[in-house]
Amino acid sequence: MADADLLIEEVSAYLKPQDVEYVRQAVEFSRTAHEGQLRQSGVPYVTHPIAVARILTPLHMDVQAIVAALLHDVIEDTDITTEQVAGQFGKPVADLVDGLSKLDKLQFETREDAQAENFRKMLLAMARDVRVILIKLADRLHNMRTLESMSREKCERIARETMDIYAPIANRLGLHDLFHELEDLSFKHLHPNRYNVLSKALKVARGNRREVVNKILDSINRRLHEQRLNTDVSGREKNIYSIYKKMQSKSLAFAEVLDIYGFRVLVEDVDSCYIALGALHGLYKPIPGKFKDYIAIPKANGYQSLHTTLFGPFGTPIEIQIRTQEMHRIADAGVASHWLYKSGHNSINDLHKKTHQWLQELLESLSQSTDSSEFLEHLKIDLFPDEVYVFTPKGKIMSLPRGATAVDFAYNVHTDVGNRCIAVKINQELAPLRTELRNGDRVEIVTAPHAKPNPAWLSYVTTSKARSHIRHFLKTMQSGESAQLGERLLNQALHTLGVKPSEIQEGCWNKLLRETGVKTQQEILADIGLGRRLNMVVARQLVCNGEAIPKETPANSVITIQGTEGMAVQFAKCCRPIPGDPIIGIIKSGQGLVVHTHDCNTLRRGRSSGEQWLDVVWDENISRPFDVGIKLIVSNQRGVLAKVAAAIAEAESNIENVNFSNEGQYTALHFTLEVNNRLHLANVMRSVRKIPEVIRIIRVKSSAT
């Protein structure tokens, strides 16, 4: 039990004697509980929890965390219960151990479902007590260090999970050393050949470049000494995976990656950071665009430092980090700095507040996810490490993942702001909502009371919060609108059978719900609206008689299109119908009612299986605008576009989009306009046709044309 002796020696350095005795008891309890159990490698199982506890001792974790680390597998892998752990070591330790135990007692349909639920449980426990994730990360690190005894398939699965979930969590919590080791070990098991080649190349390069590194180190020390700065300068080597990522992203060979070494300068206070920066910029020329000030704008995980890249001797780029001792402690220990340095320093308290806020926001967005794949997707998105920093109109700094758009920003401000946003001003200028934000942008969201999320937003948002809230809104809206359409379709079918909807007895509805296994009438109606059930079939079942079900909806069953049905009624992109066009409706499973024009080319190609055709007509009082395409052939003359735009405006139509293409001495103008109906479109075309430069004007029905 040499490892147990080392653990006792390590905790004795910072824990009270009575707490050390508590740890001894936990070691003995764990050893007894795991008696006879072996790890895959053949060593006694108890070596694992002891190793996990030892990973936590450099962070000076408290006695409860050390004991929980020693007992983290006893509930899951032995007959010990949570109540026994609570009786022996107290409820706080039992809660930590329970938060670390998997949901093995429950049955899941797929491995993905089980994985998602385990992560969900871990995050909930982590929100109550961050020590849960610190112990879990230590557990994962030791498992990664001893992964060789596993099968190749299991190694790859665990390494992929570590790379996608656990390493980013460690980074998000500011545990940088642990983060880099998890990354390197994952890379080693996912790409063993690449890891070995890079590892050998790095050893060779370390020897070849030692003289250059020493020379740079001497010149940095000399320059800072001239400025009378009390500093501690050290060289650091980049981890293997970060070198590999740079080679991948920039398509470089290893020999071309010159900055495998970096330097860290530790100073006494914040002012000295900037003085040291100026001194080093005077020593070597800075590379433009390679300076980052994480002191003025800290990272979300509390990290603070100045980063700069300089042109060193022999053209070697030098990466330098400049920070205070306090910043360095937080950079090394992250959220665990609370236990390592009980100084009550404001920066540590701020870090804990940020971590708690991040966890609450993460859990809020993940709670919107109903299936496991969506949950894991949101979790991975939220752990994306690279960030941009933008400003609200009042000057508040907000951090978002790199690639985040104005819609992500809106949802980060508040869910209602995201749901109601219609436009954005970036640096006082209007910009599209899909615009990617850059560091330093000042972002102002424009909202409208009746606006709602657009499904197209899902194609360019990056944060899990935005994605989950958009999906939740669309699902809720689609369900409600589909149920309204389904009710209309069902009522039409009942009238065709000569039955008034009010005559349907409650018992018939209850019988239908029992037979179909559906919980509510609303779900049945939504299924009809989405085309998952035929309205005539449901009508026959509700009438409670045994008559044969007609294969087609009778011809006199006509649906009126009001234009306000929302997502439940879609207007086909292939023909873009507008009020006044002869139309026909098709119920498509999962999509609801799709409206086409009678002469649509897509309809001519034949009817697909699983489609129900309906007679539909336009409501006489439709007031909403519809998109329509027109194409103009015009003479190439100055000012013709302005004349056309003015004519369209005079006809009280709005231009949604315009583009053009040259056709010899003529130009083709393609417009997407908003019109109320065919009569309105005819007025627009008549107004445009009066312009002398217009040679030809036609309506374009296909949106792809």
Write the pLDDT tens digit of every residue in 452-477.
888 788 888 888 788 888 877 877 77
Our separate counts of H helices and E strands in the chain read 29, 19
Q: Which of 619, 512, 494 is nearest to 554 (CA)?
A: 494
Would you say domain 2-190 falls under CATH 1.10.3210.10?
A: yes
Provide mean pLDDT across the span 407-429: 90
Burial class (CB in 10 A: 0-12, 13-18, 19+), 665: exposed
Measured at the alpha carbon of residue 94, what is the angle toward residues 90 and 100, in degrees to the nearest 5?
Answer: 155
Strands 443-447 and 421-426: what pairing? Answer: antiparallel
Distance CA 493, CA 496 (A): 5
Q: Is the pLDDT of residue 105 over 50?
A: no
Distance CA 524, CA 528 (A): 6
Q: What is the predicted pLDDT for the residue at 182?
A: 92
Structure tokens at 646: 């003015």
Amino acid (one-letter) located at 380: K
Q: Is the pLDDT of residue 482 over 50?
A: yes
Q: What is the predicted pLDDT for the residue at 357?
A: 59
- The confidence band for 101, taking pLDDT boundaries of 50, 70 and 90, is confident
537 or 633, which is more confident: 633
Strands 612-618 and 558-561: what pairing? Answer: parallel
Distance CA 25, CA 436 (A): 55
Q: What is the predicted pLDDT for the residue at 542?
A: 80
638 or 315, which is more confident: 638
Amino acid (one-letter) located at 178: L
Structure tokens at 630: 């027109």
Question: Could you report the per-residue pLDDT of 419-444, keeping only the tens digit for each?
Answer: 889 889 998 888 888 888 987 788 99
Q: What is the predicted pLDDT for the residue at 575?
A: 86
229 or 360, which is more confident: 229
Residues assigned a catalytic role: 76-77
H-helix segments, 632-677: 640-650
Q: What is the predicted pLDDT for the residue at 619?
A: 83
* CA of residue 40 relative to chain centroid, distance: 35
| Integer CA distances (angstroms), 312 to 124, 219, 254, 316, 685, in order | 48, 10, 19, 5, 67
Q: Is the pLDDT of residue 548 over 50?
A: no
Structure tokens at 610: 């699983």
Q: Is the pLDDT of residue 207 over 50?
A: yes
Q: Is the pLDDT of residue 83 over 70?
A: yes
Burial class (CB in 10 A: 0-12, 13-18, 19+), 258: middle
Provide mean pLDDT across the span 544-562: 53
3-state secondary structure of 180: helix
CATH no. for 354-470: 3.10.20.30
Q: What is the predicted pLDDT for the residue at 508?
A: 82
Strands 569-571 and 592-597: what pairing? Answer: parallel
Q: What is the predicted pLDDT for the residue at 340?
A: 47
- List phi, psi (to 5°) of 458: -60, -20
Provide mean pLDDT across the span 98-106: 60
Structure tokens at 320: 């330098």
Q: Is the pLDDT of residue 41 over 60?
A: yes
Per DSSP, the residues of 297-320 read: S--TT----EEEEEE-GGG-EEEE
Q: What is the predicted pLDDT for the residue at 369?
A: 53
CATH no. for 626-700: 3.30.70.260
H-helix segments, 74-209: 74-77, 82-89, 91-100, 111-128, 131-145, 152-161, 167-172, 176-190, 192-208
In the block, tokens 């206070």 appear at 269
Question: Could you report the per-residue pLDDT of 495-545, keeping only the tens digit for each?
Answer: 777 788 877 877 888 888 877 777 788 778 877 776 667 676 677 778 754
Provide mean pLDDT across the span 41-67: 89
Q: Is the pLDDT of residue 388 over 80?
A: no
Strands 626-635 and 694-700: what pairing? Answer: antiparallel
- The confidence band for 550, taking pLDDT boundaries of 50, 70 and 90, is very low
Q: Is the pLDDT of residue 682 over 90?
A: yes
Share of the chain above pLDDT 70, in %: 79
CATH no. for 203-342: 3.30.460.10
| Domain limits, the chain | 2-190, 203-342, 354-470, 475-618, 626-700
Give the single-character DSSP code of 503.
Answer: G
Q: Is the pLDDT of residue 483 over 90?
A: no
In the block, tokens 């005894």 appear at 149
399 or 534, which is more confident: 399
Task: Kindly give, in sequence order, each residue whose CB lies less than 8 Å from that of residue 199, ignoring residues fewer than 6 positions away.
Answer: 240
Distance CA 34, CA 46 (A): 6
Round the average pLDDT of the chain to a whole number and report it: 79
Q: Which of 385, 286, 277, 287 is nearest to 321 (CA)?
A: 277
Question: Could you report the per-residue pLDDT of 355-374, keeping only the tens digit for each?
Answer: 555 555 555 555 555 555 55
| Integer CA distances (angstroms), 428 to 424, 437, 442, 447, in order | 9, 14, 8, 16
3-state secondary structure of 565: coil
